[in-house]
Amino acid sequence: MPVDALTLSDVLDAAVPFALPLRRRFRGIDVREGVLIKGPSGWGEFAPFDDYSDAAAARWLESAIEAAFGEWSQRARDEVEVNAIIPAVDSSAAASLAREAVLELGCRTIKVKVGSADLLDDEARVASVRDVLDTALGRGRGAIRIDANAAWDVTRAAAALRRLVAYDIEYVEQPCASLGELRELRRLVEVPIAVDESIRTSADPGSVRVRDIADVAVLKPAPLGGVAATLRVAESLDVPVVVSGSLDSSVGLDTAVAAAAALGDLPYACGLGTGALFADDVAEPRLPVGGVIAVGRTAPDLPSLLAARDRLDDDRAAWWRQRVAAAWAVKG
Ligand SMILES: [Mg+2]
């Protein structure tokens, strides 16, 4: 069935609302919910966070429809190098998570959350991860990137980065909230700056002159509208791109991996190592092996899919189906 001929009822007939528990609270949630959609091409995932507008959700629906009913762009590689993520935990917990990521998953790049109330907590966390990487891989061989989730103003960001630069930081993601702050910070520090939120929520993601404010752009394929949309945005930017997931199930992760694999130029490890955050998934989790994730198509296994479906009560399942309809109504 061509994507253009699809109707809302085709999509709803193929939709399975789901809920998956996380191992620990992440982005303010304990359970990841969404809708899986099955089509002739495979499965797609529609999982806009609760605070997304219908317009933002519509892009996510386009991504799910592309996966289930459309075709993904041709790949430039068969596997994608991924980074691990260390949340804002204390330094000894950070060290043990980092060891697990390096020794068991083969990751050579670790993203560390920063932006704690006390900069010393951030520094202790980053220092312990640097220590693990240097011990396991050799001095300077593993990469650390940090993510402040816009927690800093320019003054605090500059102070933090002047301290943290000692641990050899690949880049800092979203140190400040606004484009103006990022532009100002960039003149004050040497650590490269990556931008994500400001691109994703911009009305026209392709219109931001990223080179003026940052050195790297983090793109999230599902909220951008899928693989083809991600390639379009990447082409319109004049900085290297890092592809990142959106706390996706194994099915949703396939889309992000496919987008990363389709990019001609992919100089950095991608943020696709989030499978380990799930306590339960709809299929065998898509975890990095030897630090990479292979391009692929995940089909949910039936018992896991039914369990994920049955975790939602009828009202919540109906709410998700309504959300699909609302996104459909505003999508282009
Ligand atoms: Mg981020």
Q: Please tell me the distance between residue 147's alpha carbon and the centre of ligand 1 in angstroms.
A: 6
What spacing in Å lies between the alpha carbon of 315 and ligand 1's midpoint? 31
Domain identity same for 224 and 259 = yes
Ligand 1 ion: nearby residues, β-carbon < 5 Å: 147, 173
Tell me the CA–centroid distance for residue 174 and ligand 1, in Å. 6
124 and 271 assigned to the same domain: yes
Q: Is the pTM of this model over 0.85?
A: yes
Catalytic residues: 113, 220
CA of 324 from ligand 1 middle (Å) equals 26
Range of the domain at 170: 79-294
Task: Calculate the alpha carbon distances from 314 to 14, 17, 104, 300, 304 in Å.
Answer: 17, 10, 39, 21, 18
Q: From the CA of 176, how far away is ligand 1's center (Å)?
A: 11
If asked whether residues 159 and 270 sit together in one domain, one would say yes
pLDDT tens digits for range 263-315: 999 999 999 988 888 999 999 999 999 999 999 999 999 999 999 999 999 99
Domain CATH number, residue 112: 3.20.20.120
User: Could you tell me if 162 and 51 lie in one domain?
Assistant: no
Please give the Cα distance from 12 to 255 (Å, whole number). Answer: 20
CA–CA dist 300, 306 (Å, integer): 10
Query: What does the pLDDT look like over 202-240, one tens digit per residue?
Result: 545 556 578 888 999 999 999 999 999 999 999 988 899
Same domain, yes or no: 66 and 146: no
